[in-house]
Amino acid sequence: MRLSARNQLPGTITFIEVGSAMATVVIRLEGGHEMVSVITKDSAERLSLAEGDAVTAVIKATEVMVGKE
């Protein structure tokens, strides 16, 4: 898979919950951090996502907000 997005984070699915319209996917990234993605049920089924699958989290955004107290 080749993409123009620079922020590509490899990891492993540790949890997936498929609801009636959306699916919650938890990905453990290299280094131990976890990322949660909410995608459509159709996308999760089309990709045949399952716990233990090696995946890549791709982040494409035009804005990143930073806050500080």
User: What pLDDT is attached to residue 32?
Assistant: 95
**pLDDT tens by residue, 44-64:** 999 999 999 999 999 887 777
Contact 23, 13 (CB under 8 A): no
CA 68 to CA 10: how far, in whole Å?
Answer: 28
Q: Where are the domains of the chain?
A: 7-48
CA 58 to CA 64: how far, in whole Å?
Answer: 14
User: What pLDDT is attached to residue 65?
Assistant: 82
Predicted TM-score (pTM) of this structure: 0.84
Domain 7-48 carries which CATH code? 2.40.50.100
DSSP 37-69: EEEEHHHHHHTT--TT-EEEEEE--S-------
